[in-house]
Amino acid sequence: MKTLTRIALAAAALAVATSFAAAAEAPAWLKAPLKKPLDQLVIGLSFPLLDPWGATYESSFLDYAKQLGVKVVVLDSQADVPKQSNDIRDLVAQGVDTIIALPLNNRAIVGALGEAHSAGIPVVLSNGRVAPSGEQYVTAWTGPDHHKTGYLSGQMLIQALGEKANIVIISGTPGTESGDRREKGCRDALAEHPGVTLLDAQPANFQREKAQSIMEAYITRFGDKIDGVCANDDDIALGALAAIKAAVAAGRLKPDHIKITAGASQKEGYEEIKKNGYFYGSVLMQPDDASHLALKTAIEVAEGQDVAKEQYYDTPPYTLKNIDQTPIPSY
């Protein structure tokens, strides 16, 4: 037992020593003086599920932490709702400086966030939101501005089609922030142009197959009247694209007419836009940007600095014109 403790202590000492050696200069965005040197900070990250998007988020998070010389603890709830609350309690138990959480369930997480709050540990949310009863425990929210990405997708569509166009919307999951706000953003962009008619809007719950069947129904109802499709993400856009290609091949639609734009990027969609076909443009939304903003904010919060309650990362739109200057989506 004693030897074990000694070994553990020696290992800890070694770890501290190496991290001192590795510690980089404090970055420019961090105001001096610091409450704690960066290499003594421990930031906890509670992840809902390390799916492909999550894995990219995690690896970019770890890289950035290494670059800054900050210690991090990443816990994966494996899509188990009670486990995420347990994970957060485990982060509280080890006294991390800030907890970053991507909520798996916006209500179930509130109790655990309350425990973090009463233990004096600040919470930074990344991408997801919590129920109103939990907002009191949240120091800052970081993520994409979904209204803006929806708005940009609408704007690109009009830029491609001109002031007079008939448009259909295929949206994400109703009741989710990304679903509702991207749809609203797209509607707002279209409403600015009196010559533009919105034919219909239906939710595809961010599912490609569902988007495809909705698009098939649109084609049956409106046919060649449709000039543009405003999709809330690349998955939906790719579903609509499959339906359009099939209808064109079957002679039900005139070729090379419809344009599609999307409100959130994916690697597969990026390649499709490069082909200069029906898929016209999308909005870059990188897990790397999400993880970097979350970690940066968590560090500022841990250092006791003032941060904005809502923080958005950059989501630039891209079409064939600027695709070569746009980084390839990492997911």
| Rounded Cα gap, residues 7 and 254, in angstroms | 74
- Binding string, residues 253-292; x marks residues near another protein by CB under 8 A: ----------------------------------------
Residue 177 binds another protein (CB under 8 A) = no
Residue 107 binds another protein (CB under 8 A) = yes
Q: How far is the CB of 43 from another protein (least distance, A)?
A: 12
Q: ∠ at Cα 125 (121, 131), nearest 5°?
A: 100
Q: Which is nearer to another protein, 58 or 227 (CB)?
A: 58
Q: Which is nearer to another protein, 74 or 217 (CB)?
A: 74
Q: How far is the CB of 149 from another protein (least distance, A)?
A: 23
Size of the site for another protein (CB under 8 A): 34
Q: Based on C-alpha coordinates, what's the Rg of the chain?
A: 23
Q: How far is the CB of 72 from another protein (least distance, A)?
A: 9
What residues numbered 69-98 form the site for another protein, per CB under 8 A?
A: 73-82, 85-87, 89-90, 92-95
Q: Which is nearer to another protein, 8 or 308 (CB)?
A: 8
Q: How far is the CB of 79 from another protein (least distance, A)?
A: 7
Q: Which is nearer to another protein, 119 or 160 (CB)?
A: 119
Report DSSP letters for 270-323, one per residue: HHHHHTTSSEEEEE---HHHHHHHHHHHHHHHHTT----SEEE----EEETTTG
Residue 1 binds another protein (CB under 8 A) = yes
Structure tokens at 236: 């939906």
89-94, Cβ contacts within 8 angstroms, sequence gap of 24 or more: 89/115, 91/44, 91/46, 91/116, 91/121, 92/116, 92/119, 92/121, 94/42, 94/44
Q: For 139-155, b where at least 16 C-beta lie within 10 A, e where not — what string?
A: bbbbbbbbbbbbbbbbb
What residues numbered 195-214 form the site for another protein, per CB under 8 A?
A: none
| Rounded Cα gap, residues 222 and 219, in angstroms | 5
Q: What pairing do the DSSP bridges indicate for beta strands 279-283 and 317-319?
A: antiparallel
Q: How far is the CB of 61 from another protein (least distance, A)?
A: 14
Q: Which of 30, 34, 62, 119 is the binder for another protein (CB under 8 A)?
A: 119
Q: Is 130 helix (H, G, I), strand (E, B) or coil?
A: coil
Residue 131 binds another protein (CB under 8 A) = yes
Q: Is 120 helix (H, G, I), strand (E, B) or coil?
A: coil
Which residues lie near another protein (CB under 8 A)? 1, 4-5, 8, 73-82, 85-87, 89-90, 92-95, 105-108, 110-111, 114, 119, 131, 133, 175
